[in-house]
Amino acid sequence: MDFLTDDRILIAERGDVAVQQPGQLWVMTTDGTRVKVTGMPPNTGIYYVLRSPDFVTSRRVYISYFEPGGPNEPRRGRNASDTNFRPEGLTVLRAQLDLAANMPTLGNVEVIWRQEQIVPIPTGFQIGAYMAFSPNGRYLFIAGGARDEFEGIQNLDNALGKTVRIFPNGDIPPDNPFAQTPGARGDIWTLGHRNRPVAKVGIRGFPFGVKSDSRFGCRGFALSG
């Protein structure tokens, strides 16, 4: 959840991820009144919500969620053979939240970032999905979990097990570590993370305060910055 104003909170209700049922968004006031937010795209789980640093004037919010793949989406991942699940991928959108109406609504919805569409593992998700702005509001950091995949997590051609840094509109900063590396995703900021349960940003824009987890060696080392 994140405070929108002194008396209103935006809350993500995750949904039943194990059976790929959608989550919901709510605006709650400090007196306990809760109203559903409309305008959320199709999803199989909502994870993190974050108000823009300029929310007072822009009314913009950021939401990380699982976006379901279409009927022709390639079935990738180590659980690809399980036909009970459809591919889905961690996705981040930004939208303007209209609080004036009786029913709060997301408008001008834009998907600004996508991780990977893979078939999920039902018993362990390692989703990450946390977001944080740099102190000056110039950059948006997104923590992408490893999704319980074992192969290729250290590769630079995917965003699994990575923290990414982008501009708030989704563009990639040209000074990111791998922005000029052929074949690499330019949004990668750090890599080698099994799952990032928190995302905080230090004064120079480096993530810190991240739970360290090295139990799985090269298959997933969660770096504490």
For 182-197, the pLDDT digits (tens) are 999 999 999 988 766 5
What does the angle CA 111 – CA 114 – CA 120 come to, to the nearest 5 degrees? 125
> For tokens 């008396």, what's the residue?
7
Q: For residue range 97-133, list pLDDT tens digits in order.
A: 998 767 899 999 999 999 999 999 876 568 889 999 9
Residue 198 pLDDT more than 60?
Answer: no
Q: What percent of the chain has pLDDT over 70?
A: 84
d(C-alpha 136, C-alpha 96), whole Å: 21
The pTM (predicted TM-score) of the whole model is 0.87
Q: Report DSSP letters for 35-51, one per residue.
A: EEEB-PPS-S-EEEEEE
Return the H-helix or E-strand segment holding 207.
strand 207-208
Smallest CA-to-CA distance from 142 within 78, 95, 102, 93 is with 93
- pLDDT of amino acid 71: 84
